[in-house]
Structure 1
Amino acid sequence: MVVDQGGFTDAARKMGISKSAVSKHVSALETRLGARLLNRTTRRVSPTDIGLAYYDRARRVLNDAGEADSLVTAMQSAPSGLLRMSVPTDFGTTLLSPMLGPFLQSYPDISVNMVLKNRYVELISEGFDMAIRIGDLADSSLRARKFAEASYRMIAAPSYLQAHGRPMRIDDLNEHRLLHYSNQASNNVWKIIAPSGETRQVRCEGWLTVNDGQSLLNAAVDGLGIAYLPSYLYHDALKTGQVVDVIPDLPKDIKGVYAVYPPGRYTQPKVRAFIDYLAIRFSGIGPDTW
Structure 2
Amino acid sequence: MDRLTEMEAFATVVDQGGFTDAAKKMGISKSAVSKHVSALEARLGARLLNRTTRRVSPTEIGLAYYDRARRVLNDAGEADALVTSMQVAPSGLLRISVATDFGVNLLSPVLGDFLQEYPEVTVNMVLNNRYVELISEGFDMAIRVGELEDSTLKARKLTETAKRMIASPRYFEKYGRPTKIDDLNDHKLLHYSNQSNGNVWKITAPSGERRQVRSAGWLTVNDGQSLLHAAIAGLGIAYLPSFLYADAMKKGQVEEAMPDLPMETLGIYAVYPPGRFTQPKVRAFIDFLAETFADKGPDNW
TM-score in terms of structure 2 length? 0.84
1:1-33 Cα distance to aligned partner (Å, 9 max, x none) = 4456665456557654463x5444434544536
Pairwise mapping of residues 213-228 of structure 1 onto structure 2 (< 5 A)?
Answer: 213-228=224-239
Shift of 1:113: 1.5
2:119 is aligned to 108
1:283 aligns with 2:294: yes
C-alpha separation in 1, matches of 2:235 and 2:74: 63
Give the C-alpha shift of residue 245 in structure 1: 1.1
State the SS of the aligned residue for 1:125.
coil
Matched to 2:51, the amino acid is N
Q: Who is 2:50 aligned against?
A: 38
Paired with 2:118 and 2:39, the residues of 1 have a C-alpha distance of 52
How big is each residue's C-alpha offset from its partner over 1:41-83, in whole Å with a ceiling of 9 and x where there is no partner?
1xx3332464567556645543442233122101122122222
**In structure 1, how many angstroms separate the alpha carbons of the residues matched to 2:288 and 2:84?**
22
Amino acid of the structure 2 residue aligned with 1:37: L
Kindly indicate whether residue 207 of structure 2 is the aligned counterpart of residue 196 of structure 1.
yes
Residues of 1 paired with 2:180 and 2:23: CA distance?
85
Are 1:124 and 2:131 counterparts? no
* Structure 2 Cα separation of the partners of residues 92 and 98 of structure 1: 9
Aligned match of 1:144: 155
Structure 2 CA distance for aligned equivalents of residues 120 and 33 of structure 1: 57
Unpaired runs of 5+ in structure 1?
none
Aligned partners of 1:57 and 1:5: how far apart in 2? 17
Partners of 2:33 and 2:264 in 1: CA distance? 70
Shift of the 210–18 alpha-carbon distance from structure 1 to 2, 3 Å rule, reads closer
Call closer, same or farther: CA 1:6–1:150 in 2, change over 3 Å: closer
What are the Cα deviations for residues 72-126 of structure 1, in whole angstroms up to 9, with x where unaligned? 1011221222222211110001110011011101000111111112133232333
Of 185, 192, 197 in structure 2, the residue corresponding to residue 181 of structure 1 is 192
Question: Which residue in the other structure is 1:233 paired with?
Answer: 244
- The aligned residue for residue 165 of structure 1 is 176
Tell me which of 81, 88, 105 is aligned to 2:92: 81
Relative to structure 1, the CA distance from residue 238 to residue 9 in structure 2 (aligned partners, 3 Å threshold; closer, same or farther) is closer
Assess if the C-alpha contact under 8 Å between 2:48 and 2:63 holds in 1: no
Counterpart among 272, 284, 289 of residue 283 in structure 2:
272
Q: Measure the CA separation in 1 of the matches of 2:48 and 2:143.
A: 56
2:77 alignment partner in structure 1: 66
1:39 maps to amino acid: R
Question: Whole-Å Cα distance in 2 between the matches of residues 250 and 240 of structure 1?
Answer: 22
For 1:211 and 1:120, locate their aligned partners in 2 and report how far apart those are by CA, in whole Å. 14
- How much identity, in percent, do the aligned residues show? 69
Q: Secondary structure at the match of 1:237?
A: helix
Q: Please, which moves more after superposition, 68-77 or 173-182?
A: 68-77
> Structure 1 pair 35/106, CA: closer, same or farther in 2 (3 Å)?
same
How large is the Cα RMSD of the aligned pairs?
Answer: 2.5
Q: TM-score, normalised by structure 1?
A: 0.87
Query: Given that residues 156 and 243 in structure 1 are in contact (C-alpha distance below 8 angstroms), is that contact kept between their aligned partners in structure 2?
Result: yes
Cα distance 1:4–1:228, how it changes in 2: closer, same or farther (>3 A)?
closer
Distance (whole Å) between structure 2 residues aligned to residue 29 and residue 231 of structure 1: 65
Following TM superposition, by how much is the alpha carbon of 1:214 offset from its aligned partner in structure 2, in angstroms? 0.7
Judge conservation of contact 1:131–1:260 (CA < 8 Å) in 2: yes
Which among 266, 269, 275 is matched to residue 255 of structure 1?
A: 266
Q: In the alignment, which residue of structure 2 is the partner of 1:211? A: 222
